[in-house]
Amino acid sequence: MPWNARVDRVAPFRVMSLLEIAQAREAAGHDVIHLEVGEPDFATPEPVLAAGQQALVAGHTRYTPAAGLPALREAIAGHYAQHFGASVDPSRILVTPGASGALLLASQLLAGPGDRVLMADPNYPCNRHFMALAGAEVDAVPVGPESVWQLDAALVERHWRDDTRLAMLATPSNPTGHMLDGAQLSSVADSVAARGGELLVDEIYQGLCYDIAPLSVAAITPDAFVVNSFSKYFGMTGWRLGWLLAPEAAVEPLTRLAQNVFLAASTPAQHAALAAFTPECRDILETRRAELGQRRDALLAGLARLGLAPSLPPQGAFYLWLDISRYSRDSQAFCRQLLEEENVAITPGIDFALTGGEYHVRIAFTTGIARLEEAVARLERFLARQA
């Protein structure tokens, strides 16, 4: 049976097959250290759990408006004002089923057949795939340390074409954890606006910054589309809740799309998320952010001893992007062998990079320091056998 040809442009997310193998090894009694999936070992914060339970008891299980619970949209707007100095009207916020729901809405509104989309390479693969499903062509621009692993204004200017419609950024990025600062973000926004294009910014890891203060493009321009999530900083992965901040003129068509695509995000999850903005929850989240920073530093120190630490430490998210070219040019085989021989699960770079992915891997520092140090010891044994 012939499928929609656009589906063929969506590559498999190879880390999921690796996760399946890792879980099978665990079930067989092996001590597997999981550094492959972007989900820290923290539980959902207790205030959020309590709010979700209270919502169920109170019977908050019916549909909300398609754009989301008004109180939650107001809370998100308050979050932008309090922490990023951005004045955002709640009407510009659409609550979605995860950040993936936000990206789906944005891609369907902004990209279509004949359009080209600029984004960095490496990048989160779903960013490319959503644009491909919309029928657009993605120009994945190879980036490296010289641009802090980001699509900066100079690269936008160099690669923009007559049929380019959209530039997409991710800051902090997955898989590298690197960020654009305020001046760099402003330069990209100006460059895109000067060409009559649209700017879409993935800020999913926004709250997880270690060396510089978190920032939002919403404080720079009201014209950018912003994807965010309750999964990463707020620790609500399985609740599947995110949001899209859009320019005022885009809200009505986005709302129509939301009505037709998913009706509304989960009502209990939205009520639970209201507690994510309380001072009590903020204290928990900031403690966790500090712990992730300590994990990053411990993992960097261990990898430096092996000569594998990245030249530019990541400023955010919870990933390290490592060059393994001294040992392998097949990152998928490298990760599979490391798992089978040392029970350490990491992610092959070919999931994220069209250029150079075969000799890069991503490591997530999503487990405790003792386990990270054990993973480094196992990696050291493994690399000794590759020499």
pLDDT confidence of residue 13: 74
pLDDT confidence of residue 14: 75
Q: Are residues 247 and 313 in the same domain?
A: no
Split at pLDDT 50, 70, 90, the class of 299 is very high
Q: What percent of the chain has pLDDT over 70?
A: 99
Q: Is 61 exposed, middle or buried (0-12, 13-18, 19+ CB in 10 A)?
A: exposed
Q: Is the pLDDT of residue 5 over 80?
A: no
Q: Are residues 116 and 86 in the same domain?
A: yes
Residue pLDDT, tens place only, 103-115:
999 999 999 999 9
Flag the least confident range among 1-5, 61-65, 130-134.
1-5
Tokens (6 digits) for 78 = 């308050």
Q: Of 255, 278, 301, which marks where a domain is finished?
A: 278
Supply the range of the domain harboring residue 198.
46-278
pLDDT confidence of residue 374: 98
Q: Are residues 26 and 131 in the same domain?
A: no
Number of domains in the chain: 2
What is the model's pTM? 0.95
CATH of the domain at 313: 3.90.1150.10
CATH of the domain at 58: 3.40.640.10
Q: Are residues 15 and 69 in the same domain?
A: no
Q: Are residues 290 and 267 in the same domain?
A: no
Q: Are residues 180 and 310 in the same domain?
A: no
Q: Are residues 198 and 242 in the same domain?
A: yes
Q: Are residues 176 and 314 in the same domain?
A: no
Across the range 215-227, mean pLDDT stands at 97
What values do phi and psi take at 200, rounded to 5? -120, 125
Q: Is the pLDDT of residue 1 over 60?
A: no
Please say whether the beta carbons of 89 and 291 come within 8 A: no
Residue pLDDT, tens place only, 143-172:
999 999 999 999 999 999 999 999 999 999
Q: Of 250, 278, 306, which marks where a domain is finished?
A: 278
Q: Is the pLDDT of residue 17 over 90?
A: no
Q: Are residues 88 and 203 in the same domain?
A: yes
Flag the least confident range among 20-24, 193-197, 276-280, 375-379.
20-24
Q: Are residues 322 and 257 in the same domain?
A: no
The mean pLDDT of the chain is 95
Q: Are residues 234 and 313 in the same domain?
A: no
Please say whether the beta carbons of 157 and 177 come within 8 A: no
Q: Of 219, 247, 278, which marks where a domain is finished?
A: 278
Q: Are residues 315 and 333 in the same domain?
A: yes
